[in-house]
């Protein structure tokens, strides 16, 4: 019955920053591993960053060094700080359960998500 809500997207110039938030309506996330995913029109769903219950993190090569994932379990929230944004980062960003293979699962890029646009 948990619902996830993403927020914080927007439109920025290349080199700018955004901070995305994902909050769960219930008392806990639906999975011990949570992640951020993104999908641009015509592209496949891509794993961006993953964090587990112990705070261990994963980043895709394309965002490593620029993005930071964090969590606040007390608030049932995860965040994605995105710095030095590039036009290729433009996509709809989604949060959801993550998996041990670090790949998107069915539904990882479903839902409304939050839109990020980056202009050059």
7, 77 contact by CB (below 8 A): no
β-pairing, 4-7 vs 67-72, is unpaired
16, 87 contact by CB (below 8 A): no
Q: 33: which DSSP letter?
A: S
Mean pLDDT of the chain: 93
β-pairing, 34-39 vs 114-119, is unpaired
Mean pLDDT of 62-83: 94
Mean pLDDT of 50-77: 93
Cα–Cα dist 102/83, whole Å: 22
Is the pLDDT reported for residue 44 higher than 80? yes
Tokens of 3: 């619902």
Position 25 scores a pLDDT of 81
Cα–Cα dist 67/65, whole Å: 6
Position 106 scores a pLDDT of 92
């Amino acid at each position: 019955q948990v619902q996830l809500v993403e927020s914080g997207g927007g439109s920025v110039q290349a080199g700018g920053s955004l901070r995305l938030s994902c909050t769960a309506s219930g008392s806990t996330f639906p999975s011990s591993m949570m992640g951020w995913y993104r999908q641009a029109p015509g592209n496949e769903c891509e794993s961006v960053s993953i964090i587990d219950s112990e705070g261990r993190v994963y980043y895709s090569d394309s965002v490593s060094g620029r993005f930071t994932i964090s969590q606040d379990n007390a608030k049932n929230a995860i965040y994605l700080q995105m710095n030095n944004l590039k036009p290729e980062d433009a996509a709809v960003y989604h949060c959801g359960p993550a998996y041990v293979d670090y790949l998107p699962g069915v539904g990882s890029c479903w839902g409304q998500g939050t839109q990020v646009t980056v202009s050059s």
